[in-house]
Amino acid sequence: MPAEWERHAAVWLSWPHDPETFTSGVVKGEKIFTEIISAIYRSEKVELLVRDGKMKARVLKYLKGKKVDLNRVNFHLADYADVWFRDFGPIFLVNRETKRLAMTDWVYNVYGNKWPELLKDDKIPAWLNRFLKLPYFAPGIVMEGGSFDVNGRGTLMTSEQCLLNKNRNPKLNKKQIEKYLSDYLGVRRFIWLKKGILADHTDGHIDDIARFVNPTTVMYAYEDDVGEGNHKILKENLAILKKAADQNGRKLKLIKLPMPKMVDKNGNRYAVSYANFYIGNVVVLVPIFKHKNDKTALKIIQEAFPKRKVVGIDCRDLIVGGGTIHCVTQQQPAV
């Protein structure tokens, strides 16, 4: 599996439609997706799932309003349930010798069968491959794309809370899970953080707590306020990162990323994180939340990607469904 900053041919998304996900209004979700596509289409093609012709017509209206080049957008009519393409879509692989693309299709059980009505999204990778016609590998175990991150050189980062959770693969231990990841993603060094942030229904996805930004550097989310619930969690993860090494035994360079905070009118918190960014070919799309730390986070991420333009996208109406930009995107590597 290549690192996310390696060249992409396309980005995959599934257009929003479910009011259960977008509780503040599906239209607000559509506008966020329009912003995402508008920011990314020039440098990588957009492969977009829509449910029917009526939805496609709505999308076309939005994209034309933003003057998006429609030759850069491919539509796929599919019977999908939700927008979390990172987690249910295929994970693409590259054979670096033959320059050939392949895909893996892991089992998607909707974060431990939390929402059975979304289980049909597990079928999307196999359906896509009927026309992609790529070499196809199905490991047969539960795994979501947002639960791990790779540096493209042999190291994978994940969390124990997610991958060792009994609602995923209860019959597998850590070594057995590592064997699957090694066999199907081409990795050999593992960094296991402990837990994800509070209110995260994914049970600790890595893409909210720590991300590789180059082969030897990890950007990590950290909460300075000792009175915040995430402080202890993220401090424990940082202690692990400080001792961690890459596939060659080299210590990692670490970049601290502040935490935002967002609560609803009843005081219930959302799992907000700036680490849920998407690294495109020439842009980095970063979720922002009208929080005092937005500008600081954008500056830190921009410094980590000097050759890319960092674009902040207001994701307050997206996080209500449980995720943001990285969760709804999946890169297809260029070969």
Q: What predicted TM-score, i.e. pTM, was given to this entire model?
A: 0.98
Helix axes of 26-40 and 53-65: crossing angle, nearest 10 degrees: 60
Catalytic site residue from 94, 327, 328, 331: 327
pLDDT value at residue 207: 98
Using alpha carbons, select from 331, 233, 237, 220 the residue that is nearest to residue 275. Answer: 220
Both tokens of 11, joined, read 């980005």
**Percentage of residues in the chain having pLDDT higher than 90:** 99
Question: Mind listing the pLDDT tens digit for each residue in 225-269?
Answer: 999 999 999 999 999 999 999 999 999 999 999 999 999 989 999
Question: Mind listing the pLDDT tens digit for each residue in 25-49?
Answer: 999 999 999 999 999 999 999 999 9
SS3 assignment, position 17 = coil
SS3 assignment, position 156 = strand
What is the end-to-end Cα distance of the chain in Å, rounded?
A: 12
CATH architecture of 8-333: 5-stranded Propeller (3.75)
pLDDT value at residue 286: 98
CA 185 to chain centre: 16
CA distances from 165 to 36, 161, 298 (A): 32, 6, 33
Question: Mind listing the pLDDT tens digit for each residue in 153-170?
Answer: 999 999 999 999 999 999
Both tokens of 83, joined, read 């927008």
pLDDT value at residue 14: 98
Q: Is 162 known to be catalytic?
A: no
pLDDT value at residue 178: 98
**Percent of the chain that is helix, strand, coil (3-state, to 5):** 35, 25, 40
Q: Which helix (H) or strand (E) holds 261?
A: none
* CA pair distance 102, 123, nearest whole angstrom: 17
Using alpha carbons, select from 8, 10, 15 the residue that is nearest to residue 77. Answer: 15
Question: Mind listing the pLDDT tens digit for each residue in 105-151?
Answer: 999 999 999 999 999 999 999 999 999 999 999 999 999 999 999 99
* CA pair distance 334, 44, nearest whole angstrom: 10
Cβ neighbours, 10 Å, residue 15: 24
pLDDT value at residue 137: 98
Cβ neighbours, 10 Å, residue 198: 13
Question: Mind listing the pLDDT tens digit for each residue in 60-98?
Answer: 999 999 999 999 999 999 999 999 999 999 999 999 999
pLDDT value at residue 208: 98
Question: Mind listing the pLDDT tens digit for each residue in 188-204?
Answer: 999 999 999 999 999 99
Q: What is the bridge-based pairing of β-strands 253-258 and 217-222?
A: parallel
